[in-house]
Amino acid sequence: MDAWKTRKTWLNMFSRLPGEAARTPEETARAELNCFLESHPEESCTLSVREDMGEDYILTDTGVTGGSAGILYGAYRWMACRALRVPLPSGKQSPACALRMLNAWDNMDGTIERGYAGRSLWFEGGRFSYDPARIRQLGRMLASVGINVLCLNNVNVREPAQGLISETLDELASFAALLRPFAVRLMVAVDFAQPVREGLDTADPLSPEVQRFWAEKAKKVWEAIPDLAGFLVKADSEHRPGPHTYGRDHADGANMLARAVAPYGGVILWRAFVYNCLQDWRDQKTDRPKAAYALYQPMDGRFCENVILQVKNGPYDFQVREPLSPLFYGMEHTRLALEVQLAQEYTGHQIDLYYMAPMWEELRAEMPAGSVAAVAAVTNLGRDDNWTGHPFAAANLFAYGRFAWDPASDAEAVAREWAALSYALDESQRETLVSLLMSSRAIYEQYTANLGLDWMIEPGHHYGPNPYGYEFSPWGTYNRADRFGVGVDRTSRGTDYVGQYPAPWRELYEDPEKCPEKLLLFFHRLSYGHLMADGRTLIQRLYDDHFEGARRAEELSQKLNTLDLPEPDRKEALERAALQVKNAREWRDVLNTFFFRFSGVPDAHGRTIY
């Protein structure tokens, strides 16, 4: 029943769960530190709280000084550095942004939308159901990497989740209390049509009775949970209700909610994931990646102070390879949250190895300074004993927290730290593990979405290859492959998606000679004979990548086999690696066959294509 308690996580340096006694982050910090010092008698450390420091902290060899939350973040960091015998960070440590959120897509029936690590940690059978000790362990996992907000229910708000801000509000409040000692505040995903559920005949944001409804609702909710972070809203997206239902726009909708929660310091996280999901595949003019910018950019400057527009990293939908969403360049007068997905919906279901921090380094390189006010990640957690399905998927949660706090973090250093905290491997084995993590994204990309060809996946569950899967569907995700070539022309001669980017990006993406190779088929429609920079033809490159990706997946599994991991981590990792090898072969053969049948061009090296 409690097998999770014996599982390795990066919190291994602590010998036991903090007791229930701790009520504040400071008390938690003291309890954790006492526990650490018992097993490290050579160390000493004093904690000093300075309220004005908020989330900030300063570390010395023998002390942590920090604000009411900073004291806890500082204590965890201090212990990690001491346990690993690495230098302490010097100077005052401050987070890059104030809201570092985790979005759970947990449903109250206990399922998790796009969850690959078991059932919900806190819902079951239509209600709250959890082990308080496990929620405390969750709290310390989050606090140990500085994550400070948890949105606990799916953005697709379905009954009875609407009740969280209504008839089950007291249970929500009890849950919030469990995480408070870890400086983690709750957020709730709300249904834009909640007023209708509670008896009104409209949810029109300009209706005074709707405005009154939300004002009263906010009052009750914040009375019960004074430190609630805010509401998260998915509106007019994938069949969810929203302001469009009432002929209003998204600034009207978001601002109405923002005014209701403002008296309590609440924020409205308004998701920008809005597009036409009932597109006619015959329509070659509508281009889904253009949707969000086209909708929101004209509203720049109209949103209230406490509205944060939550934008997925790319213009599509958490694909393996996308350019940065153009909204990050075009919304100077709107606060934006960057949303990433730790749940591996499109990146291997926590079966295939996929360490995400290298992607965040790439995002950082493209992100204009000052454009991100908050960060959110769809979690990869669930009730599995090891929390994340694949034991190494925990590295993504760990790294997310570190990058959210400090976007200038180094992906490899973070991987090394996670590995060292989680497993007692010798240095050479640890380096092998680090190199497996560091190469994993490139390998997965190579066999699933090379050159920016996303969406060739099995519809619905999104695991495994199916190049025709979405081709004649209403979702706006087409590869348009035929016997002449492949890709959608998004240049000024095509859908002009590139027109949403400022210089120098627009020019870069417009020209196939300058376009980064990894995004070539995202922006361009090219013939199979197109010559790549290295002299290979496009078709040969497609073949080579799929052969190479599958080969590297095999190599990855062999290297993994050499690691002396503790059980059951070793068994779980190897089982998944075997499935990954199978998946990679399937991708290789399906995609190569698909392109061979269209192009008629044989592989230059005579390898088997079916």
Q: Which is nearer to ligand GCW, 458 or 482 (CB)?
A: 458
Residue 268 contacts residue 307 (beta carbons within 8 Å) = yes
- Residues 6 and 9: their CA atoms lie apart, in Å, by 9
Helix (H) or strand (E) holding 311: strand 307-312
Smallest distance from ligand GCW to CB 154, Å: 6
Site string for ligand GCW, 177-216 (x = CB under 6 A): ----------------------------------------
Give the integer Cα–Cα distance in Å for 176 and 169. 10
* 3-state helix/strand/coil string of 212-273: HHHHHHHHHHHHHCCCCCEEEECCCCCCCCCHHHHCCCHHHHHHHHHHHHHHHCCEEEEECC
Q: Residue 310: what residue type?
A: Q
Q: How far is the CB of 268 from ligand GCW (least distance, A)?
A: 16
CA–CA gap between residue 447 and residue 581 (Å, rounded) = 11
CB of 105 to ligand GCW, least distance (A): 5
CA–CA separation, 29 vs 47, rounded Å? 8
Residue 341 or 440: which CB sits closer to ligand GCW?
A: 341
Residue 173 burial (CB count, 10 A): 16
DSSP 184: P
Specify the residue for token string 């938690």: 28
Shortest CB 189 distance to ligand GCW, Å: 9
Query: Annotated catalytic sites, by residue?
Result: 238, 317, 345
**517 binding ligand GCW? (CB under 6 A):** no
Angstrom distance (rounded) from CA 344 to CA 358:
15
Binding ligand GCW by CB under 6 A: which of 317, 322, 454, 510?
A: 317
**Least gap, CB of 570 to ligand GCW (angstroms):** 32
Considering only residues 92 to 111 of the shown chain, the ones binding ligand GCW according to CB under 6 A are: 105
Half-sphere exposure of 246 (CA within 13 A, CB side): 20
What tokens does 171 get? 């249970």
Q: What is the dihedral of CA 551, 557, 563, 565, to 10 degrees?
A: 160
CB of 155 to ligand GCW, least distance (A): 5
Given the complex with ligand GCW, which of 338 and 420 has the nearer CB atom?
Answer: 338
Least distance (Å) between residue 3 CB and ligand GCW: 29
Confirm or reject binding of residue 470 to ligand GCW (CB under 6 A). Answer: no
Report, in Å, the least distance between residue 176 CB and ligand GCW: 23
Q: Does the footprint of ligand GCW cover residue 155 (CB under 6 A)?
A: yes
Q: Is 273 an interacting residue with respect to ligand GCW (CB under 6 A)?
A: yes
Q: Which residues pair with 341 in a beta bridge?
A: 378
* CB-nearest residue to ligand GCW: 317
CA distance linking residue 504 with residue 528, whole number of Å: 28
Token duo for residue 371:
């454009």
| Smallest separation, CB 260 to ligand GCW (Å) | 23
* Nearer to ligand GCW (CB atom), residue 182 or residue 318: 318
**Under the criterion CB under 6 A, does residue 57 sit at the interface with ligand GCW?**
no
State which residue, 65 or 310, has the beta carbon closest to ligand GCW: 310
Beta bridge partners of 59: 64
The encoded tokens of residue 347 equal 């990146």
Q: What angle do CA 382, 387, 393 make, to 5 degrees?
A: 105
Residue closer to ligand GCW by CB (options 26, 106) is: 106
Q: Rounded to an integer, what distance in angstroms lies between the CA atom of residue 550 and that of residue 555?
A: 9
Q: Give the shortest CB-495-to-ligand GCW separation in angstroms.
A: 21
Build a one-symbol-per-residue string for 323-352: x at contacts with ligand GCW by CB under 6 A, - elsewhere: ----------------------x-------
When asked if residue 541 is in the footprint of ligand GCW (CB under 6 A), the reply is no
> Among residues 209 and 238, whose Cβ is nearest to ligand GCW?
238
Q: What CA–CA distance (Å, rounded) separates 610 from 605?
A: 14
Asked if residues 79 and 73 have their Cβ atoms less than 8 Å apart, the reply is no
- In contact, 550 and 583? CB cutoff 8 Å: no
Q: Map residues 418-437 to x or -, x wherever contact with ligand GCW holds by CB under 6 A.
A: --------------------
- How open is the CA angle 492-495-497, to the nearest 5 degrees? 75
> Is 102 or 560 the residue whose CB approaches ligand GCW more closely?
102
311 φ/ψ sector (left φ>0, alpha ψ -120 to 50, else beta): beta
Return d(Cα 603, Cα 585) in angstroms, integer: 17
Compute how many residues bind ligand GCW; rule: CB under 6 A: 10
Question: Which CB, 462 or 552, lies closer to ligand GCW?
Answer: 462
Nearer to ligand GCW, 272 or 590 (CB): 272
When the beta carbons of 75 and 343 are compared against ligand GCW, the nearer one is 343
Number of helices (H), then strands (E), belonging to the chain: the values are 17, 15
Span 108-147, contacts to ligand GCW by CB under 6 A: 113-114
CA 261 – CA 219 distance, rounded (Å) = 8
Q: At its nearest, how many Å lie between ligand GCW and the CB of residue 428?
A: 39
234 binds ligand GCW (CB under 6 A): yes
String marking each residue 277-316 x if it binds ligand GCW according to CB under 6 A: ----------------------------------------
- Ranges of H-type helices in 23-69: 25-39
The binding site for ligand GCW (CB under 6 A) comprises 105, 113-114, 155-156, 234, 273, 317-318, 345
